Structure 1
Amino acid sequence: MEVRESMNLEKKLQKSRLGEAYAGIHSDADRQAVLRVYDTLLKENDLSNKMLARHMAGSILPSVAMYRGLQEQGWKPVEARRLIRTSVLNASKPMAKFFQGLGKLPFFFPLFRVMCPASTKAGYGLEGWQFEWKRNDAHAIEWDCHACLYANVFRRYGVPELTPIFCESDDVMYGDIPGARWGRTKTIGRGDELCNFRFINTRSTPPGVTECREKPADQGKENQDEK
């Protein structure tokens, strides 16, 4: 790999959600292994769709490259996953702070009712996801996801164990929003048939709407692996 090409790939990784993880790799040989795999993955995937490319080049393929490249260098799978997980979750914290600030507004939930459909349409299109909207009213916003780009691509590359990391990143982003309780209980990445996205308006919760929170199952698994 030419020096200029290597530098360009490195810049892409540094700007991705795996930037912190890449910075935590101190061996040049390990870094080069990750860059080689990342280069191959970028070349073998169609990235002409800008919406899909943002997820593929910025989150999915860097994760696969790091997971495979580091294992080629002798890293244990749990060590590589831990590095990836920490980076992805930390990369989610700025958005978590944004939503937490937004949630303090008295008109947050009416605004959120507009934001959710708009953001899913713009950033999670039909080319990668299949959504079924269930509810969007003053009390709750609910939709099911029947197909997920992350789950599909990670499965295609034989690394489905990376998918729950990105499920957990949703927990980080949405888990502590004032005025909206995060109520997802199922995810494809954790073995369920669908992801049941759910936000409950805590300032206007009618009878019959239960308060529930998704159990971060993969986090527990990682903690067990680390022992």
Structure 2
Amino acid sequence: MGSKQQADIKEFLTDNLEGHAARELFARQSALLRELISNVSGKSAEQAKTLEETILPRVALYKALMGSSLPHERARELMRSYMMDVVAAQKHAFTNKAQVIPGFFGIYKHVFLHTMRTSDLWESTQDHGRDYFDASITKCLWHDACVENGCPELCPLFCDVDDVNYGGLRKLGFSRTKTLGYGGDCCDFHFYRK
């Protein structure tokens, strides 16, 4: 569990809480993460790896914050701040830098659609044309993990990360009208060339 995400969580808590509170919350988050990982069963290797490295550390942080002595509103604010100011900001910075690659739109379209077709992290149908590509996701590991771990209310924050990641890009436009996390019957990703 010495992942970069754990280091980011520790740094975030240290920057936003008093020393003892930050250390205590990180210890609780780490313990919860170990417990959540130990309960993973019936998943493929790819699903288990994504849960361990990406999804469950955030679920554990949410549970640690909500179970702490912090007022629930403050705990929710901290979780949102971590997801938007750390996770989403890092993803956006990476995607934004990648735009300098010649043929970025075509490359991103190919990789995204290939991943949707071959990964078992989602169940989806795809469509594409010269200047657009779509994915209608009807099952999502992120949504399932939040529901299975008793915190479906956390899932919309995972959805919001996409809005920040793809927002304001020069070569790639993004829209979506619904998500599983917000109670929709699917996540209807639509990307288009700018």
Q: Return the TM-score normalized by structure 2.
A: 0.82
Deviation per CA, 1:38-64, whole angstroms, max 9, x where unpaired?
221121113974422333123322222
% same residue: 23
Q: CA RMSD in A?
A: 2.6
Please name the residue that 1:34 is paired with: 29
Q: Which one-letter code corresponds to 1:166 in the other structure?
A: F
Q: Where does 1:16-35 land on structure 2 (aligned, <5 Å)? A: 18-23=9-14, 24-25=16-17, 26=19, 27=21, 28-35=23-30
Please name the residue that 2:123 is paired with: 130
Q: Which one-letter code corresponds to 2:33 in the other structure?
A: Y
- Mapped to 2, the partners of 1:101 and 1:13 lie a distance apart of 20
CA contact (8 A) 1:145 1:195 kept: yes
- Mapped to 1, the partners of 2:35 and 2:97 lie a distance apart of 40
> What's the CA shift for 1:16?
6.4
Structure 2 residue runs without a partner (length 5+): none
Secondary structure in structure 1 of the residue aligned to 2:181:
helix
Please name the residue that 1:119 is paired with: 115
Max Rg structure = 1
Structure 1 residue runs without a partner (length 5+): 1-8, 203-227
Q: Return the TM-score normalized by structure 1.
A: 0.71
Are residues 1:179 and 2:171 paired? yes
**Equivalenced residues, count:** 189
> What's the CA shift for 1:29?
3.2
Are residues 1:139 and 2:135 paired? no
Q: Which one-letter code corresponds to 1:108 in the other structure?
A: F
> What's the CA shift for 1:193?
0.9
Question: Which of 95, 98, 118 in structure 1 is aligned with 2:91?
Answer: 95
